Structure formats: C-alpha cells, structure tokens
Chain A
Amino acid sequence: MTAYSHLIMAASIFKRFILLLSLIFMISEAYGQGRPDSFTFLFNRVQESEGGIDKLSGSAYYFDGKLYLHLSYPVNQLFFVDDRKIKIYYPESNKGYDLISDAPFDLPIVNSLIAFMKDDYGLANIGFIIRSNSVSGDTLIAHWEHSSGPESGKFEIHYKHDIIVKARYSAKSIFLETKLIDYKTFGGYVIPTHIETRNSSLRNSEIESLFVEQLSINPEIPDSILNFNFPDDAVIQKRRF
C-alpha cells in the first residue's frame, strides 16, 4: 500500500468523523434550547374526520407539570389538570367536577408542544434508541426504534435547518404524523405555532390542527390559576377512579 492510499484512507475516515460530529451537533443544537418551566398561549384547535369538524378555542397555562385551560368555545369551561386530579368548572352554571385518580391524567392541547420541548422528543425516556440517520435533500431524518425491537413501532424525526419539522410514528395498525409548522421566536425559544397531526388507524382517520398565538415563555402566573379551586358556593360532583 502506497503512502498516497494511506492518505486517502485517512481523509475518508476524517470525513466520516466530521459528518458524524455535524450530525451530533445538529441534533444537540435543535434541542439545546432547553425546556421552559412554564408557558401560556391562546389556541384554536380544529379536528377533522369522517364524523365532521370539531373546533375548540381558549387560553392555556402550563406550569410545574400542571395545565390550566380556559375554554371560550364551544363552552365556557375551566379545566385544571394536576397530575392525578382534574377540576372542571362551568362558571355560568356554577357547577363542576372533581376527578381524582390513582394514575396521572393526560394533558390535552399541550401534549405535542411538550413533546417538542423535551430532549429527543421524549423518546429516549421511554426506551427508544436511534438506529440510524439518513439525509433527504436538506432534511436530516433520525430513525428511532424501541430497544426491545421494531415490533413496538418506529419513530422518524425530521430535522430541517436544525429544527424538527416532522415526527412520524408507525406500528402495525397505527400511523401518526405530526408536522411542526410556522416557527416563531418567543422569549428566545423557537417554537412551532401550527402543529398538524394526522392519525390513521384501522378504526378511523383524522387530522388535528393546533394553532398557537401570543405564546409567552416563563410568564408570571396569577395566584387564582396557580392555586385553582372551585368557588365556595359551587355545586361539585366528586368522582374517584
């Protein structure tokens, strides 16, 4: 082997090393902005399926893992989720529900935003690992599989110019695709203001569009929301799960 071929081999190894470093940098850069402790925003959500169109609008406050929603359409409803508790209150009738469970409740509306803000889209926390990376045009695609094998489904995270533009999950009968669109900068954080999720399964297929406005990062949360409680004279039904 000549000195020239050694040089070519070394250059090729160096090139691969640089490519690997840039991939790692792109991924860390995309998530490097960290996760805000709290945020508030106005939202409009539209769901379309064979059954029709469902619209929802209001304001959301997310803080300390808790969620407070004030729905203005289609009903005036206050919705407070705190881990294993949900408080639902209807100001007009002064009635509400106090739901208490042994297991945590899911967080509506903010799910996809929270997943976006988590490191690795929250996948590493539930046992997913990166199997490979590929490039399509100017998009870097990270392919994730569960450590137990591909039968648990696969995730694809698409990065364009260092930000996530798409997340795909596919399993036997489920296909989910979330597009993160219209990025804007709020308080130093680059956040999508339109999140579109297509959900196809054997039973149904639907598209959910979440439009986010006036997003505020780490705002001051009013006491009435921080320590949300029903008015003393409200008629409350308690339910335990």
Chain B
Amino acid sequence: MLKLLNIDKYKLMSQSIRKYASIFLLMLSFSLIIQPITVNTYAYSNPDPVADARLHAGQESGGTWFLIGCVGGFIGYIVATAITPNPPATALVGKDEQYVATFTDVYQSEVKSIRTRNAMYGCLVGTGATVLLYVAAIAAADDSL
C-alpha cells in the first residue's frame, strides 16, 4: 500500500516536472518569434538610455525564471546568475555611441536582477513544496503502520 502510494506520488511529481519543462520550452521557443516583434525601440528623438533599458528589461518574463528555479532548484538559480542577457539589437539601431554603452550596461544588470530574483523565489517555493511532499509522505507512511 505504502509502495503504491509512493509510486503515485513519484508519478505525480514527474508529471508536474514534465508539465513545467514543456511550458518552459514552449515559452522559450515562442519568445524567439514574439520577442523581435514586441521589443520595439522605445527611444525617441531625445532618448534616455537608462529609462529605455529599464522599459525593455521590464518585458523579461519573470515567470519563466520562476519556473526554472522551481524545477531546477539551486541549479536553476545558478543558471540565472551565469547567463548574461543579450541586449535587443532593435534598440541599438540608429543610436549614438554613448547611448549604446549605457543602454547595454543598464539592460544587462536589470534583466539579470529580474532573472536571479525570480529564479531564487522559484527555488525557494520548489524546495518548500518538495519538503512538504516528503513530510506528507512520511506522515502517510507513519499512519499506515
């Protein structure tokens, strides 16, 4: 009985991991076509590279990195800190030297901050959920004995 219960829990866990992984892959592949369309330049005649970079960075999907942290745990968090985000090429076309330098720096730091923050939250939630699952499994095992 206990074995059956554990097998069901493992099945449930692997199903949910697969579900999150497929959602993540879908979002990743989808972003390849949508991102170039949606990320237009926000810089106008007197552009402010800091404000523009923050606006672009705001389009970063925190939810995706939350899922990565949730599924991948600490490894997901490490991935978020290790990957340096590409600035959108669209935002750099027709901009002067100073703009390109400032935009690139601010965009990178803002996106990295969004990614690591969300991956950390995901990691904490994922770890918490796993601990709760184990506690529930142990409690169920104790009850059945």
* A residues in contact (CB < 8 Å) with B: 47, 49, 51-54, 56, 58, 69, 71, 73-75, 77, 79, 81, 86, 88, 90, 93, 95, 97, 99, 101-103, 105-109, 111-112, 115, 122, 126-127, 146, 148, 152-153, 169, 174, 176, 178, 197, 199, 201, 203-204, 206, 208, 237, 239-241
Contacts and interface: CB of A to CB of B under 8 A. Distances in A.
B40 A103 contact: no
Nearest to A90: B97
Interface string B1-39: 000000000000000000000100010011011111111
Given A126-B32, A127-B29, A56 B90 contact: no
Given A53-B44, A86-B92, 20 more contacts: A54-B43, A71-B93, A75-B95, A79-B92, A79-B93, A99-B104, A105-B89, A106-B35, A106-B39, A106-B89, A107-B36, A108-B89, A108-B93, A111-B37, A112-B37, A153-B30, A174-B34, A176-B38, A203-B58, A239-B104
Interface residues of B, number: 39
Nearest to B35: A106
B44 A52 contact: yes
Nearest to B96: A75
B140 interface: no
A101 B104 CA distance: 13
A106 B88 CA distance: 7
A47 B94 contact: no
Contacts of B85: 241
B127 interface: no
B26 A88 contact: no
A109 B40 contact: no
B92 A176 contact: no
A107 B95 CA distance: 16
A107 to B, nearest CB: 7
Contact of A103 (B22, B37, B86, B100): B86
Contacts of A146: 26, 30
A188 to B, nearest CB: 27
Interface string B83-117: 11111111011111100110010001000000000
A47 B41 contact: yes
A111 B36 contact: yes
Nearest to B46: A52
B134 interface: no
Contacts of B108: 241
A127 B39 CA distance: 21
A178 B93 CA distance: 21
A74 B94 CA distance: 6
A109 B37 contact: no
Contacts of B100: 88, 97
B33 A122 contact: yes
A106 B36 contact: yes
Most chain B CB within a 10 A radius of its CB, from A102, A108, A115, A122 = A108
12 contacts: A51-B42, A54-B41, A58-B94, A97-B101, A97-B104, A102-B83, A106-B39, A111-B37, A199-B37, A203-B59, A204-B55, A239-B104
Interface string B42-53: 111100000000
